[in-house]
Amino acid sequence: MSTVTGTLYGVGLGPGDPELTTIKAARLIGAADVIAYHCARHGRSIARRIAEPHLRGDQIEEPLVYPVTTETTDHPGGYQGAIDEFYAAAAQRLAAHLDAGRDVVLLAEGDPLFYGSYMHMHKRLAHRYRTEVVPGVTSISAASAALGTPLVERDEILTVLPGTLPREVLAERLAGTDSAAVMKLGRTFGNVRGAFADAGRLDEAFYVERATMDGQRTGTLADIDPDSVPYFAIALLPGQVAASVPGSDDPVAKSSADDAEAASTGAPTTGTGEVVVVGTGPAGRDWLTPQVAAALAAADDLVGYGPYLDRVPPNPRQRRHPSDNRVEAQRAAHALDLAAAGRSVAVVSAGDPGVFAMAAAVLEVASEPKYLDVPVRVLPGLTAAQAVAASVGAPLGHDYAMISLSDRLKPWQVVADRLAAAARADLAIAIYNPRSKARPWQVGAARDVLLEHRSPDTPVVLGRDVGGAGERVRIVRLADLDPEDVDMRTLLIIGSSTTRVVQRGDRTAVFTPRHYRQPS
């Protein structure tokens, strides 16, 4: 068996402008097998955005999503305990690639070893694997350049301070140095500005945010509105010798390449098995919630119906367990068995897992005595009904029912009775699973049941593959609903008596008003 492992590269990207990324950093990014980056729950990463011009498009991506930043946590070890567990789990994920011989580039804004998140991976992995750090332009250099003002000259001393220090400590340090850069502003800004005032140096200080990036802003520290200050901002105190001329009026800055991107993912702790049932929405990545994306990224195993698993980009670190759509109980038991063995398992559903999908199946099996100690969470997804409704407007704008036409798990008479009850109640109805090769007759039968209680002119929305490449949306009268126009990938929305169809320019809108008038 080969013992050759991959190399871990800590790659500094600079302060934000992609053109400030070094040639070496760009080369390594383009050549890497795996691209890793820290991000918050929203899934966006400044580091990845800077590096994007150099990505090949076929590389494995490992988003490392922080569990907490400054918010409270119920972790028994508190904030530090949650962060330490996260770093251990992240290092384990990267180690899996390195052990497989894959080179990993961990992206870092600014410089990797200057208040950077990369250092936490370096400490945990550098003694086990070949490691190389590629330095980057720091936010201090970028902010100084944005101001057009040197910070130190000749024998002047530059002091770098975190804004999280107590006010009196900051004031003492500022009073005793020639020049200073105070990082990590945001919510600390009031404390930092107070410390400059206490040191008698507020009038000498400057402020820069998002240096070298779009939206950069600069000014004198005393004039900045505290409520407008983001985390990625920096306060600069030029040395008196160096700062014979104040900076320009238009630049901006970004504070450090610190671990600034962080938010809760709810991911399981290292070594603890768990089942997370997730909904990927009705179509592609744009319909995926950041919460679900974080759970998918953290999973060891993905379990689900084969076509739904195909929507999740492959990651060789993970094991995939596809199965047929008719074995929900077996699939649920498999996921729970994996979790009981200590694996982090994501059970993948399309749409929302709680709507005619895997959440109920998993929880039903998880209610068996042998699985009662296995943690199970359900993360919601955008439903097909919501997607189809939005494609035409708001046909589900008032009370509505969701009904599946499938009689595989319940008798057809139950389906027919529920359709009739919803129709009599004058509810709009979203109809799932309308037709399959084994059930070609049910759409026509459902139409006939509805026509006993609804006007032939009731609007019906046929939405197929909304959000996908095969998207097709039509609006017809209930009386004109043709079963041949419907397949298993189609969702039907049957309007109520108050649902309206309005032509708005070249688009047709369908909506059900929120006010209700009893039909005559």
DSSP bridge partners of 34: 60, 104
C-alpha distance from residue 179 to each of 207, 229, 253 (Å) = 14, 22, 17
Q: Using one digit for the tens of pLDDT, what is the confidence trace for 406-461? A: 888 889 999 999 999 999 999 999 999 998 888 889 999 999 999 999 999 999 99
Range 21-56 burial, b when 16+ CB lie within 10 A, else e: bbeebbebbeebbbbbbbbbbebebbbbbbbeebee
Write the DSSP assignment of 194-231 as a string of letters: HHHHHTT-GGG-EEEESTTSTT-EEEEGGG--GGG--S
Same domain? For 406 and 480 the reply is: yes
How far apart, in whole angstroms, are the C-alpha atoms of residue 188 and residue 425?
A: 56
pLDDT tier, 520 (very low <50, low <70, confident <90, very high otherwise): low
Same domain? For 338 and 351 the reply is: yes
User: Is the pLDDT assigned to residue 192 strictly greater than 80?
Assistant: yes
The dihedral formed by the CA atoms of 266, 272, 277 and 278, expressed in degrees to the nearest 10? 40
- Predicted confidence at residue 409, as pLDDT, reads 84
Same domain? For 489 and 390 the reply is: yes
Over residues 243-269, the mean pLDDT reads 37
User: Is the pLDDT assigned to residue 42 strictly greater than 80?
Assistant: no
- Predicted confidence at residue 270, as pLDDT, reads 42
Pick the last residue of a domain from 354, 382, 410.
382
pLDDT over 70, % of the chain? 92
Same domain? For 367 and 431 the reply is: no
339 in a domain, yes or no?
yes
Q: Using one digit for the tens of pLDDT, what is the confidence trace for 214-234? A: 889 999 999 999 988 988 899
pLDDT tier, 249 (very low <50, low <70, confident <90, very high otherwise): very low
**Separation of first and last alpha carbons in the chain:** 79
How far apart, in whole angstroms, are the C-alpha atoms of residue 14 and residue 22?
A: 8
Grouping H, G, I as helix, E, B as strand and the rest as coil, residue 130 is: coil
14 in a domain, yes or no?
yes
DSSP bridge partners of 22: none
Supply φ then ψ for residue 215, to 5 degrees. 85, 15
How far apart, in whole angstroms, are the C-alpha atoms of residue 491 and residue 461?
A: 8
pLDDT higher for 489 or 274? 274
Pick the last residue of a domain from 122, 137, 152.
137
User: Is the pLDDT assigned to residue 379 strictly greater than 60?
Assistant: yes
Over residues 30-52, the mean pLDDT reads 91
Same domain? For 133 and 12 the reply is: yes
The closest alpha carbon to 260, from 113, 41, 40, belongs to: 40
Provide the token pair at 513.
């008003």
Q: Please check whether residue 19 is in contact with residue 213, taking contact to mean a CB–CB distance below 8 angstroms.
A: no
User: Is the pLDDT assigned to residue 252 strictly greater than 50?
Assistant: no
- Predicted confidence at residue 286, as pLDDT, reads 86
Same domain? For 395 and 446 the reply is: yes
H or E, element range at 472: strand 472-477
- Predicted confidence at residue 267, as pLDDT, reads 39
Write the DSSP assignment of 233-252 as a string of letters: EEEEE--TTT-SSPPPSS--
95 in a domain, yes or no?
yes
C-alpha distance from residue 371 to each of 135, 155, 304 (Å) = 49, 68, 19
242 in a domain, yes or no?
no
The dihedral formed by the CA atoms of 67, 311, 406 and 501, expressed in degrees to the nearest 10? 90
C-alpha distance from residue 138 to each of 113, 229, 430 (Å) = 10, 19, 54
pTM of this structure: 0.76
pLDDT tier, 243 (very low <50, low <70, confident <90, very high otherwise): low
Provide the token pair at 297.
């990224």
In the 8-state DSSP scheme, what is residue 281? B
Pick the last residue of a domain from 173, 208, 237.
237
- Predicted confidence at residue 246, as pLDDT, reads 39
pLDDT, averaged across the chain: 90
pLDDT tier, 82 (very low <50, low <70, confident <90, very high otherwise): confident
Q: Using one digit for the tens of pLDDT, what is the confidence trace for 492-506? A: 999 999 999 999 988
Q: How many CA atoms lie within 13 A of 413 on its CB side?
A: 0
Q: Please check whether residue 503 is in contact with residue 516, taking contact to mean a CB–CB distance below 8 angstroms.
A: no
Q: Provide the CA 185 distance to its chain's centre, in angstroms.
A: 25
Query: Which single residue is written with the structure tokens 């030029």?
Result: 238
244 in a domain, yes or no?
no
DSSP bridge partners of 272: none
Lowest mean pLDDT among 275-279, 386-390, 464-468: 464-468
Helix, strand, coil percentages for the chain (3-state, nearest 5): 35, 25, 45
| CA angle (409 as vertex; 403, 414 as ends), nearest 5 | 55
Same domain? For 92 and 180 the reply is: no
| CA angle (176 as vertex; 175, 177 as ends), nearest 5 | 100
Over residues 31-37, the mean pLDDT reads 97
User: Is the pLDDT assigned to residue 324 strictly greater than 90?
Assistant: no
446 in a domain, yes or no?
yes
Q: At 481, which amino acid appears?
A: L
Same domain? For 132 and 167 the reply is: no
- Predicted confidence at residue 257, as pLDDT, reads 30
How far apart, in whole angstroms, are the C-alpha atoms of residue 389 and residue 112?
A: 46
Over residues 260-288, the mean pLDDT reads 68
Q: Where are the alpha helices (DSSP H) in 100-166?
A: 118-125, 139-147
Same domain? For 289 and 376 the reply is: yes
Q: Provide the CA 46 distance to its chain's centre, in angstroms.
A: 13
- Predicted confidence at residue 255, as pLDDT, reads 30
- Predicted confidence at residue 436, as pLDDT, reads 84
pLDDT tier, 72 (very low <50, low <70, confident <90, very high otherwise): low
Same domain? For 149 and 131 the reply is: no
- Domain holding 391, by residue range, is 385-511
pLDDT tier, 516 (very low <50, low <70, confident <90, very high otherwise): confident
Q: Using one digit for the tens of pLDDT, what is the confidence trace for 102-149? A: 999 999 999 999 998 999 999 999 999 999 999 999 999 999 999 999
Q: How many CA atoms lie within 13 A of 299 on its CB side?
A: 31
Residues 6+ apart with CB under 8 A from 182: 161, 162, 163, 170, 174, 192, 234, 235, 236, 237
How far apart, in whole angstroms, are the C-alpha atoms of residue 473 and residue 471?
A: 7
Over residues 170-185, the mean pLDDT reads 96
Number of domains in the chain: 4
Same domain? For 395 and 352 the reply is: no
Q: What CATH number should be reported for the domain holding residue 302?
A: 3.40.1010.10
H or E, element range at 61: strand 60-65
Same domain? For 428 and 494 the reply is: yes
Q: At 407, which amino acid appears?
A: D
256 in a domain, yes or no?
no
The closest alpha carbon to 254, from 186, 205, 190, belongs to: 186
How far apart, in whole angstroms, are the C-alpha atoms of residue 452 and residue 321?
A: 45
518 in a domain, yes or no?
no
Q: What CATH number should be reported for the domain holding residue 171?
A: 3.30.950.10
User: Is the pLDDT assigned to residue 247 strictly greater than 80?
Assistant: no
- Predicted confidence at residue 519, as pLDDT, reads 61
- Predicted confidence at residue 455, as pLDDT, reads 94
- Predicted confidence at residue 7, as pLDDT, reads 98
Q: Find which of 178-182, 284-288, 307-311, 469-473 is predicted with most confidence, using mean pLDDT.
A: 178-182
H or E, element range at 510: strand 507-511
pLDDT tier, 2 (very low <50, low <70, confident <90, very high otherwise): low
